[in-house]
A and B are shown apart, each in its own frame.
Chain A
Amino acid sequence: MNIALAGNPNTGKTSLFNILTDSYEYVGNWAGVTVEKKMGVLKNNLGTLVDLPGIYSLNPLSKDEGVATNYLLNEDVSIILNIVDASQLKRNLYLTLQLLEYGNPLLICLNMVDVAESLGLQINHEKLAKKLACPVIPIVARTGEGCENLINEIPDLANKKTTPFRVNYGDILEEAIEKLIDLLPSEMDLPKRWLAIQFFEGNTPVRHTLAKYIDGKELDTLYKETEAKLASKAKSLPQYIHLRRGQWIEQIIQDCVIQTKQVEKTITERIDQVVANKYLGIPIFLALMYFTFKLTFEWVGTPLSDLLGEWIEGPVSEGVTSLLQALGASKFMQDLIVDGIIAGVGGVIVFVPQIFMLFLLISFIEDSGYMARITVVMDKLMEHVGLNGKAFIPMIIGFGCNVPGIMAARTIEQPKERLLTIILTPLMSCSARLTVYALFVSTFFKKNQAIIILSLYVLGIVVALILAKIFSTTIARHEESIFVVELPPYRTPQWRSLLRSTWEKGKGFVRKAGTFILAGSVLIWLLGYMGPGGFGVKMEQSFLALIGGFIGSLLTPLGFGTWQAGASLITGFLAKEVVVSTMNIIYAVQDEAALQGILPQFFTPLQAYSFMAFILLYTPCLATVAVIKKETASAKWTWFSVLYAFFVAYLISFIIFQGGKLLGFH
């Protein structure tokens, strides 16, 4: 049995899903967090629960909405759990009504009753259930309150036969609906009255379905005639239908909701006076980022990381060496494990504290409600470069990892803007690249770590904006754009869910350490161990030095034309952290602290900065390329993003190094 969650965006569907299936999917306080369907086993083994992206109606505009309506209408769904935000009852009931008309067994989860209460709204849910002829259960999905009652309702509902709900749309439209129904064949999968209403509402997929049975011209004539007859009542048919529904909903609200008090100025409005201040909005965003890096690098992350480094370099690596000796492992195995795996993987693992710190702060931002504000603050700037303020959400998520960032672009309605956002999000500096910065700034820019890192993040954003301007006036031109964003109330993130979501994000990094980074380390070590002269050659005569030397020779104008730099860049394509592993293996040291001592022999601060900029901008990692392919469904655009990034990286690093030299830096 499939049970689907449906409701407006940001109403708590995923929060409920997590409680009912004991899982942890992505929750955040803005509209459009969930962009694909997620399945889970419902408690007590009652069936499969499906979490879907939020929708306002059954007529999709954006890609994520398409995913939801497609599932609801085309898959075998036994029960729909309709999540309704109690603090925004009127707006939410438009979708409820469409679902009731559709006729699937429906259970209404009246969520956020805590918020409604704080606004002085009292909802009589029993009365509401009677009016809508379906069960209504009040819940607080954030805490799990009321969710037991919900589970208990489900078995009953599964066996219930329902008849589609009917609202009277007035004589003229009712007549047209009848006329349309008569034109349809007697056997249809979808309820005919629902199809007819959706057609008059302007639902494009429904129109395509109907066109299979009825001549397109006939459909158009019927639509136009009906609209003309109703011209005195509303500007268009969709608007007329919305008005009729609105009147009906208004009636219900009058009967079921009592406003007990008026709230003067909410906390949200007070916070917004500062955070979304007209002039200070962008400076505050930058200050927030600066603070994030201070915490990540200087105050918390790096000190912890140093401790971890000492531990890996000392006890762990010595312990493993003596263990291997005791086991009588061959010299080859000992070298592979200690100089290859521990050096390579350990060199990246030391950055776990910084990465988790960053994820904690990103999770806080996601759950607070700030994400929606930043889209409004940035929209004008983004509009200038042919993007949309909403593109900032994928970009901020991209700071954690580019893969979910690219997925998040699904909520952008305008297809060209979405495409641009997808191909530019990889320029956002992800947590993997952070390992490289962490290594270099603590070596070369000890006093100004946070500001140097901030400059790299800003460089990524600035390059993305410049390219957006170039691409949107050449290869991805478009005119009309949509920007309508909901600004939800701020919520204080709960510790429990913050830690959970930090772990969910950081888990991927730890998993990568055991897969890509491990494989990369072994590969690099082997390439450094073998050469044209056979096995166990000096590293300078290995295949690694040969390949790296070739790449390095191309990079001389950028300031890092060594075979070591060349070799570490190739492996960065696997996952950007592998750059650090490679350096640890090449320079034959096991942890960050020692590597910091050696690096200044090979890089000057200017060369180091140029190298970091190159790492930031060049070809996205394997996982990112795969998701670009999936989301654009185009080999052409995938190749394009791989190649342009490389050229841009080359150009920018060239400017930094050569320009820096001219200015007298070294």
Chain B
Amino acid sequence: MQTYLLANLQAGQKGKIVDIKQMSMETHRRLLDLDILEGSVVKIVRKFPFGGPVEIEVNGQHIGIRRQDAEKIEVTFV
């Protein structure tokens, strides 16, 4: 199935995480703490300009992460 980087999705689009690639251990831990991992369905709420953070929605909670980290997350459309 075609995969995309989470960072490339548009606001309002949803994706299901298929892979989280190499990112800093601590950031990965935090995502796991917030129950964000392979299999989670993520919706992009908004993307801040100039490569700023992305706001995502997972399981009804809103979370801000950096664009660089969103570029490490591979998703498929749902």
What is A's interface to B at a CB cutoff of 8 Å? Answer: 56-57, 59, 61, 87-88, 90-91, 94, 119, 202, 235, 238-239, 242-243, 246, 268-269, 272, 276, 278-279, 281, 372, 375-377, 379-380, 383, 389, 413-414, 480-488
Contacts and interface: CB of A to CB of B under 8 A. Distances in A.
17 contacts: A56-B33, A61-B26, A87-B60, A88-B60, A91-B59, A94-B33, A242-B37, A375-B64, A379-B52, A380-B52, A413-B26, A483-B66, A484-B31, A484-B63, A485-B64, A486-B61, A487-B55
A375 B53 CA distance: 10
B66 A379 contact: yes
Contact of A482 (B26, B45, B51, B53): B26
Most chain A beta carbons < 10 A, residue from B33, B45, B52, B55 = B33
Given A87-B60, A91-B35, A278-B47, A484 B55 contact: no
A484 B27 contact: yes
A376 B64 contact: yes
Given A61-B29, A484-B27, A376 B34 contact: no
Given A56-B33, A61-B29, A91-B59, A483 B49 contact: no
B34 to A, nearest CB: 6
B29 A90 contact: no
Contacts of A377: 48
B47 to A, nearest CB: 7
B51 A487 contact: no
Nearest to A92: B35
Contacts, number: 103
B53 A380 contact: yes
Contacts of A414: 26
A123 B64 CA distance: 28
Contact of B63 (A268, A380, A486): A486
Interface of B: 24, 26-27, 29-35, 37-38, 45-53, 55, 59-66, 69
A376 B54 CA distance: 8
Given A482-B27, A486-B63, A91 B48 contact: no
A487 B63 contact: yes
A402 B48 CA distance: 29
Nearest to A121: B60
Contacts of B37: 239, 242-243
A246 B51 CA distance: 33
Contacts of B60: 87-88, 119
A389 B26 CA distance: 16
Given A279-B49, A480-B24, A239 B32 contact: yes
B38 to A, nearest CB: 8
Contacts of B27: 480, 482-484
A584 to B, nearest CB: 47
A658 B26 CA distance: 48
A453 B53 CA distance: 30
A379 B61 contact: no
